[in-house]
Amino acid sequence: MSSTLQYRRAKDKVFLCVVCILSSLTMIPLFLILWELLKKGYKQINLSLFTEVAPSSMDAMLARISNEPIPGGILNGLSGTILMLAMAIVMSIPVGILSGIYLAEHKDSKFSSVVRSLTDLLQGVPSIVVGVVVYAWVVRPMHSYSAFAGSVSLAIMMLPMIIRSTEESMKMVPGTLKEAGLALGASYSTIILRILLPAAFGGLFTGSLLAICRVMGETAPLLLTALGASAVNLNVTEPTSAIPLLIWEFYNDPNLANLVWTTSLLLLVFVLVINIIAKNIAKKWKIQ
């Protein structure tokens, strides 16, 4: 009798150990990546990273020969990323939120289930394919690579995440709130806009931030749409750089290869910080 109890306790302990070990194993890759980026990239971290555009291959070569840090920064990539993300947000968030509300409000309609399946499919479309399609839709008709085309491809990639997170957070809002609004004589649109959306805001905001994180590092679609630029460009109809595009360019130029680490580190830190903010907001806004 007591021996089976002991056996059970031992089994519990072993199980717990295995679970702990395995879950700490999953953290190892992240820390290894961070460590590697820090080790190789810290030398290039300085203010000019944020105030100067990417150096030319020539300048970098000269610096390398004289054993100095590579001059210049990633301002052209940073500004391009911010510009294209901002446009992608403006395009995808209204559409995504409205579709999400529709899906949550018409859970069982045929149309909703079609939209839901299409959204899932869209989520699975490889980013390079999105890039090719936007190339055909936007770049070719406009006869130019552009920040606009880049942001369209990012917006398409953000859309499914925003739709689903809106739907999920709208569904979490208790139905009694809707009834309370109705009982006060409020119209349907007022109930949606002034009661349900604010109550779902936390989840919605988190979902949008995570969608931004997700597309921040996208490279393939931008190669086919925004192309890249060596100067800061704020004209949406012109080719534009982005942080992941710079990483790709640095990687392809032996003189600039050292900058890959610093730039990657920066991109990763941005993504992690936004992620942490998103998680905290989700916690804070949760309806009890």
219 φ/ψ angles, rounded to the nearest 5 degrees: -115, -50
Q: How far is the CB of 28 from another protein (least distance, A)?
A: 40
Query: Would you say 208 or 258 has its CB closer to another protein?
Result: 208
Burial class (CB in 10 A: 0-12, 13-18, 19+), 182: middle
Binding residues for another protein, total number by CB under 8 A: 22
**Residue 172 binds another protein (CB under 8 A):** no
Q: How far is the CB of 287 from another protein (least distance, A)?
A: 5
Query: Would you say 159 or 195 has its CB closer to another protein?
Result: 195
Give the range of 53-61, 114-122, 173-181, 261-269 binding another protein by CB under 8 A. 173-181
Distances (CA, A) of 147 to 10, 138, 140, 241, 242: 60, 11, 14, 8, 9
CB contact at 8 A, 223 and 77: no
Q: How far is the CB of 40 from another protein (least distance, A)?
A: 47
**Residue 17 binds another protein (CB under 8 A):** no
**Residue 191 binds another protein (CB under 8 A):** yes
Give the range of 137-145, 179-187, 219-227, 247-255 binding another protein by CB under 8 A. 179-187
**Residue 185 binds another protein (CB under 8 A):** yes
Query: Would you say 32 or 184 has its CB closer to another protein?
Result: 184
**Residue 131 binds another protein (CB under 8 A):** no
CB contact at 8 A, 274 and 266: no
Give the range of 29-37, 89-97, 188-196, 263-271 binding another protein by CB under 8 A. 188-196
Query: What DSSP assignment string belongs to 115-150?
Result: HHHHHHHHHHS-HHHHHHHHIIIIIHHHTS--HHHH
Distances (CA, A) of 225 to 75, 79, 80: 20, 16, 13
**Residue 216 binds another protein (CB under 8 A):** no
Query: Would you say 126 or 174 has its CB closer to another protein?
Result: 174
* The pair of three-digit structure tokens given for residue 270, joined into one six-digit string: 């941005």
**Residue 111 binds another protein (CB under 8 A):** no
Place of tokens 């100095």: 68
Give the range of 23-31, 146-154, 193-201, 242-250 binding another protein by CB under 8 A. 193-201
Query: What DSSP assignment string belongs to 145-174?
Result: --HHHHHHHHHHHHHHHHHHHHHHHHHHS-
65 φ/ψ angles, rounded to the nearest 5 degrees: -65, -40
Q: How far is the CB of 190 from another protein (least distance, A)?
A: 5
* The pair of three-digit structure tokens given for residue 113, joined into one six-digit string: 């289930």
Q: What is the DSSP letter of 42?
A: G
Query: Would you say 162 or 191 has its CB closer to another protein?
Result: 191
**Residue 287 binds another protein (CB under 8 A):** yes
Q: Which stretches of the chain bind another protein, using CB under 8 A?
A: 174, 176-187, 190-191, 194-195, 198-199, 201, 287-288
